[in-house]
Amino acid sequence: MEVHVSNQQTPNTGTNLDPWYSNYADRAAGLSVSEVRALFAVASRPEVVSLAGGMPAVSALPQDLVVTAMNRVMRDEGSIALQYGSGQGVPRLREHILEVMAMEGIRGSVDDVVVTTGSQQALDLVTKLFINPGDVILAEAPSYVGAIGVFRSYQADIVHVLMDDDGLIPDALREAIAREKSAGKSIKFLYTIPNFHNPAGVTLTASRRDEVMQICRSEGILVIEDNPYGLIYFDGPPPAPMRSTEDEGVIYLGSFSKTFAPGFRVGWAIAPHAIREKLVLAAESAILCPSAFSQLVISEYLETADWRAQINTFRGVYEERKNTMLQALNEYLPDLHHTNPDGGFYIWLTLPDYLDTKQMLPRAVKELVAYTPGTAFYADGGGRNKMRLSFCYPTPDQIRLGIRRLTTVINGEIDLLETFNATGPLQTIRSSRSFSAPPPDLD
């Protein structure tokens, strides 16, 4: 009997956990559980003070306003609300979106707006339209963890650009562009969160906005301006959005998640004409159409409620919580650098270089406090001595308790390092440390 031996290699098989492992597309390798989402299971435990998730304080939104809007929609427009709709979104809501953006100086027409399932979907659609594997996306260092996840899923090369307390550094942007272009890379867009940055909490100054736009315009680089927090300011509104002065070079992303409620999952994009047409086609291929029910409820709310006053209420709630967190940080961790946001949800805390916030997280959970490690916000593994603290969801009393517990965690981590590093560079830790010991946690 003649035996034929094939030269072909046996294809990769699955695993015990996933028999279809070898069948996935290459881009599936970019999908991973974010450190933020992984924290939600822990943070939802009632005994844990969560300073981790960026969950809005929906308790500050009167439920009767929402119920009334929902009832009216079902009574007057139920057959429309429960039906398929336009892939671009309900025109009535798009008109309201223009009113919302006008508060920040952005002008446009109803046809310019594309409604999406949260601004996260808008970000996904834009990335799908522009990114081939290996293309470069410029993003601040640090950057929004949800954006990093999207960019990785489309196999983009994420190049971080340094920022400071005044936002993205223009000279660092120039250097990054020159470096990537000299390497023959294709830079598709700059992704930026200019207002009350997530996670850094800083705001890009007006002069830097102009300079960043000039750089991107001269280099032919599209700007993705993500602005979910722009109306959540404390002392005064931030500088005008880049989209307000530049129509053709900016795609602007907005959301009702922070100014109304995230559960309705309604966001939007306003884009140059040609891009907008492709966004609509991409949205239709992904979901056919956004939820008509959610759009009509938000439209009803915007028409019948004093939504501007409600945003003022949210501002007051968040400013009180921010001030509480700053007071606690200055009392218990006075030597650590942190940002002081003028709005939004987040404070960015920098620990000594020898501490690793990701490794420290299990100790924090044991002490019943949660935060988001800095590594979640870098595509290159940076930010190990950083953490994001969210003041939006916990009450002021919970925030003070959480910072007290966090101080215990940090001091405990330093003591542990001292114990196991009796010699070497960590010898100076104790002499240089001046963190306040918190009072006993009697709560």
Structure tokens belonging to residue 69: 């809007």
Confidence bin at 5 (pLDDT 50/70/90): very low
Q: What is the pLDDT of residue 422?
A: 58
Q: What is the Cα–Cα distance from 107 to 98, expressed in whole angstroms?
A: 7
Asked if 120 and 206 sit in the same domain, the reply is: yes
> Quick one: 371 and 348 in the same domain?
yes
CATH code of the domain in which 48 resides: 3.90.1150.10
- The CATH number given to whatever domain includes residue 263 is 3.40.640.10
CB 215 within 8 A of CB 242: no
Q: Is 279 a domain residue? A: yes
| Per-residue pLDDT band at 418 (split at 50, 70, 90) | confident
Residues 237 and 371 in one domain: no
pLDDT value, residue 15: 63
What value does the mean pLDDT take over residues 132-158? 96
At residue 1, the pLDDT reads 41
Does 426 have pLDDT greater than 60? no
Q: For residue 325, what are the contacts with CB-CB under 8 A and spacing of at least 6?
A: 51, 347, 389, 391, 399, 403
Q: Average pLDDT of 340-360?
A: 96
- Whether residue 97 is predicted with pLDDT greater than 60 in this model: the reply is yes
pLDDT on residue 3 = 40
Total tally of structural domains belonging to the chain: 2
Beta-carbon count within 10 A of 158 CB:
18
Residue 428: pLDDT band (50, 70, 90) is very low
Do 268 and 199 reside in the same domain of the chain?
Answer: yes
pLDDT of the residue at 331:
97
Per-chain mean pLDDT for the chain: 90
Helix (H, G, I), strand (E, B) or coil at 271: coil
| The pLDDT value given to residue 435 | 55
Q: Clarify whether residues 419 and 371 are in a common domain.
A: yes
Tell me whether residue 11 is in a domain: no
The reply to whether 273 and 151 lie within a common domain is yes
Give a yes or no: residue 32 inside a domain.
Answer: yes
Is residue 345 scored above 60 in pLDDT? Answer: yes
Same domain flag for 96 and 232: yes
Evaluate if residue 403 carries a pLDDT over 90.
Answer: yes
Domain co-membership, 195 together with 232: yes
Task: Yes or no: say if 338 and 373 are a contact pair by the CB < 8 Å rule.
Answer: no
Same domain, yes or no: 47 and 97: no
CA trace torsion 142, 144, 147, 149 (10° rounding): 80
Tell me what the mean pLDDT of segment 229-255 comes to.
96
Per residue in 153-206, pLDDT (tens digit) is 999 999 999 999 999 999 999 999 999 999 999 999 999 999 999 999 999 999
Q: Write out the residue range of the structural domain in which residue 344 sits.
A: 21-60+310-431
Output DSSP code: residue 436: P
